[in-house]
Structures are given as structure tokens and as C-alpha cells.
Amino acid sequence: AHARLCTVHVHVDGQLHLDIDDDGVGPGEARDGGVGLGSMRDRAERLGGSFAMVDLNPGTGVRARLPLAVTT
């Protein structure tokens, strides 16, 4: 919430690493009753990956790790 700057980093090394950071008020102060973060966590886990929030003080980070499908 109230972010002015957001950075997105993507890295691939057998899985997709997606890191999103902002300079907003932080996860503890941005509660609005929404379901967005829970929905992102559920989707990542259904795909066999992981999802985490990080308090950057100030700001919030989101870390998603998703497996990549291997085709033969």
C-alpha cells in the first residue's frame, strides 16, 4: 500500500524465481480484507511452488518460486 516504487526481478535456473519489492508501508499496515495474497499463495502451491511475503521495512517483498515444466 502507498508504494511509489516497485521493482521486479525474474531469474530462471530450473525453476522460475519472481521477486517483487516495493517501498510502501509494509505488510502489517496494508490490510484491506482482500484475498489477493492468499490467492497468489494458493496458486503457487497448486503448481508445486512456493510463495512468501517479506517485510523490507520500509516496503514489502513478494517471493514466488515456480517449477518449470520439462518437455522431452
Q: Could you report the per-residue pLDDT of 31-52, keeping only the tens digit for each?
A: 555 678 889 999 999 999 999 9
Q: What does the block give as the cell for 22?
A: 516495493
Task: With 0.75 as the threshold, say if the pTM is over it.
Answer: yes
pLDDT interval class at 69 (50, 70, 90)? confident
Q: What is the reported pLDDT for 57?
A: 87
DSSP 11: E
Residue 25 backbone dihedrals phi, psi, to 5 degrees:
-80, -10
Q: How far apart are the first and last CA of the chain?
A: 43
